[in-house]
Structure 1
Amino acid sequence: MTPSDVNTVSNSLAAQGYLPDDGISTAVFLAMTLQRPLLLEGEAGVGKTELAKALASMTGGELIRLQCYEGIDVSQAVYDWDYSRQLLHLRATEATGESTSMSSDDLEAQLYGERFMVKRALLRAISPVEGPPPVLLIDEVDRADDEFEAYLLEVLSDFQITVPEIGVFRAERPPLVVLTSNRTRDVHDALKRRCLYHWVEHPGFEREVEIVKLRVPGVDDGLARQVAAAVEALRDLNLYKPPGVAETIDWAAALGKLGATKLDDELVTNTLGTVLKYREDHQRVDQHGVAAVVKQAFEKGLMHG
């Protein structure tokens, strides 16, 4: 699927429950039409991973997710061998006497053939598929180390992977690639040059309200506005971990389950654990005053209502 313009991307993502701003829609349009990987950076919880999920739903391609972490290597990201099946095959050839008529090279070629290969995310993403190409999500690439990032650069440059025992695997049609980074460290310039880049901000107030209303069906309109305004107020408190859009949605859903139609001090105090996940941040809100957060939420909710 190659979209005709930016508006088509925007409308298609919205139909999947993801409300993009113009910058995101433009970045996605260019990534799809130029067939370039898209690197999304931004604070945790701003919707980077959700965008990849929405793209998979939008294109109809399979979402293949590679979660990066310190120490990730080829066997976890590209391919590995199914040692238990190889051993069973070896035992079977011995039991039937087949191995006696084979050279060690022939036997090894059997054991290290594609039938005993376990394809991990990167190899699956370039394998031939029926239907639309997959969406390859390389999540939190900033958590991986330099060696893996260098390997990734090679894969994304040519969309091909060499397996010494078998040969070269090449993508007939390249996947749509989305890389995300929470910027715990800087991604290398070489990888950034290979990608289109977009910094994902927290949404503006009105867009966050619309996201809440879309993702929490039946939520009271006034409550959605107050929750979005309260989260905006919390983000201004210099917290250790400012709440993202995911936390805004969780908070609105939790308040809806409690039958709330408006915020008050007690309700905010009792449900703050759905939006803030660190004790230090709870203490910071206590110092600032829950009442002040509620007051700001009411004022902004009414002002924009």
Structure 2
Amino acid sequence: MGTLVEALAGTGYVADRSLAVVLHLAGSLELPVLLEGEPGVGKTAVAEALAEATGARLVRLQCYDGLAAHHALYEWDYARQLLAIRMAEARGAVGRDGVGPSGADRGGAADLRAEVFAPEFLLRRPLLEAIDPPDGRPVVLLVDEVDRADEEFEALLLEVLGQFQVTVPELGTIVAARRPRVVLTANRTRALSDALRRRCLYHWLPYPTRDREVEIVAARLPGAAEDLVRRACELVDHIRNGGFRKTPGVSETVDWVRALTLVGGVLDAATVRETAGCLFKDAEDLIRVQGPDGRRLLREAGVA
């Protein structure tokens, strides 16, 4: 586990031992990892760092409401298939009625069908891309925000991840020669099925402690002043406990420290007001932090 922690740290991702254990076990047991947590805690970054640390290719499937099977698995390139048919007709290899040039011989039509349903006309979407990578490299499959997809897609995902194979009627069944490492993320916008949870190793990713966030920001921004990083993380910690509607995540902290560095590396009340849009992404929160609540937070965090 220590080696994996070091490998992830080399990519700029600071992981604790509990996360490293889950990732290590998932790789050894060839099981997916389900990461749940509030938006912005770094769930997506786990998959990105894991791919970089292991030398794998990251394949990402971004989930959304209404995600259909053909967007996740595969579809045929109909425009190129139609062009191939038209070219075959122009050569006289097949007639417009779909049969061979002799009218009785259907060999030309059969050959054309095999030609237009060849692998080069197959558009590989993320799930098929991960199961059968064209370059043979190991793959980390990121199924991002799986809770945004509907239950029908979740059932499809269970089927694919259960066997790590995809059946294309025109080509046959494609089986993974090497199973990809799979990371699923969820923000708890809806309850995931027990069936999906049982097939995964589970890890809850909380907001980092103040000291760990200092480590994370310092790793992401090695040029930032140490004192600035520490004071900024202290203020963010106070904000997270301040009852705001949209709590800033780690990515917002990193962006904010980067912005503070660009405006002179000074953290005071004036720069907090000027750069508040880096942390707050809700109008009510932005208004509130400019008022008495904001002044109280600054006093508590020792920001003049």
2:52: which partner in 1? Answer: 57
Deviation at 1:130, TM superposition (A): 4.9
Give the alignment partner of residue 31 of structure 1, picking from 14, 26, 41. 26
Determine helix, strand or coil for the equivalent of 1:18.
coil
Cα distance between partner residues in 2 of 1:77 and 1:242: 31
Cα distance between partner residues in 2 of 1:19 and 1:159: 30
- Most deviating of 110-119 and 206-215: 110-119
2:237: which partner in 1? Answer: 232
1:140: which partner in 2? Answer: 145
Q: Whose radius of gyration is greater, 1 or 2?
A: 2
Structure 2 residue ranges without an equivalent (≥5): 101-106
Superposed CA deviations along residues 237-283 of structure 1, whole A, max 9, x for unmatched, are 2222100000000000000001123x211110110001111101113
Superposed CA deviations along residues 4-57 of structure 1, whole A, max 9, x for unmatched, are xx1111111111110011211111111111111000000010000011000110
The share of aligned pairs that are identical, in percent, is 48
- Report if aligned partners of 1:61, 1:131 keep a CA contact under 8 Å in 2: no
Whether 1:266 aligns to 2:273 is no
Matches within 5 A, 1:153-168: 153-168=158-173
Give the alignment partner of residue 283 of structure 1, picking from 283, 287, 293. 287
2:90: which partner in 1? Answer: 95
1:83: which partner in 2? Answer: 78
- Computed over aligned residues only, the root mean square deviation of the Cα atoms, in angstroms, reads 1.5
1:194: which partner in 2? Answer: 199
- Report if aligned partners of 1:76, 1:120 keep a CA contact under 8 Å in 2: yes
Whether 1:298 aligns to 2:293 is no
Deviation at 1:172, TM superposition (A): 0.6
Structure 1 residue ranges without an equivalent (≥5): 1-5, 300-305
Determine helix, strand or coil for the equivalent of 2:300.
helix
Superposed CA deviations along residues 45-76 of structure 1, whole A, max 9, x for unmatched, are 00000110001101111100000000111111
Question: Which is helix-richer, 1 or 2?
Answer: 1
Deviation at 1:131, TM superposition (A): 5.7
1:119: which partner in 2? Answer: 124
2:15: which partner in 1? Answer: 20
- Report if aligned partners of 1:269, 1:290 keep a CA contact under 8 Å in 2: no
Determine helix, strand or coil for the equivalent of 2:21.
helix
Cα distance between partner residues in 2 of 1:254 and 1:128: 39
Which letter maps to 1:273? Answer: G
Give the structure-1-normalised TM-score. Answer: 0.92
- Most deviating of 271-280 and 105-114: 105-114
Cα distance between partner residues in 1 of 2:220 and 2:246: 22
Whether 1:44 aligns to 2:39 is yes
Deviation at 1:132, TM superposition (A): 4.3
- Report if aligned partners of 2:36, 2:187 keep a CA contact under 8 Å in 1: yes
- Report if aligned partners of 2:88, 2:112 keep a CA contact under 8 Å in 1: no
Which letter maps to 2:293? Answer: G
1:302: which partner in 2? Answer: none
Which letter maps to 2:290? Answer: D
**Judging changes above 3 Å, is the alpha-carbon distance between structure 1 residues 91 and 158 closer, same or farther for their aligned structure 2 residues?**
same
- Report if aligned partners of 2:61, 2:142 keep a CA contact under 8 Å in 1: yes
Which letter maps to 2:11? Answer: Q
Whether 1:248 aligns to 2:276 is no
- Report if aligned partners of 1:237, 1:284 keep a CA contact under 8 Å in 2: no
Determine helix, strand or coil for the equivalent of 2:141.
strand
Cα distance between partner residues in 2 of 1:298 and 1:14: 31
Which letter maps to 1:279? Answer: A
1:303: which partner in 2? Answer: none
Determine helix, strand or coil for the equivalent of 1:173.
coil
Whether 1:152 aligns to 2:157 is yes
Cα distance between partner residues in 1 of 2:49 and 2:300: 33
Give the alignment partner of residue 4 of structure 2, picking from 2, 9, 13. 9
Cα distance between partner residues in 2 of 1:200 and 1:56: 18
Give the alignment partner of residue 208 of structure 1, picking from 186, 197, 213. 213
Deviation at 1:103, TM superposition (A): 4.9
Superposed CA deviations along residues 135-181 of structure 1, whole A, max 9, x for unmatched, are 00000000000000000000111101111221111001100000000
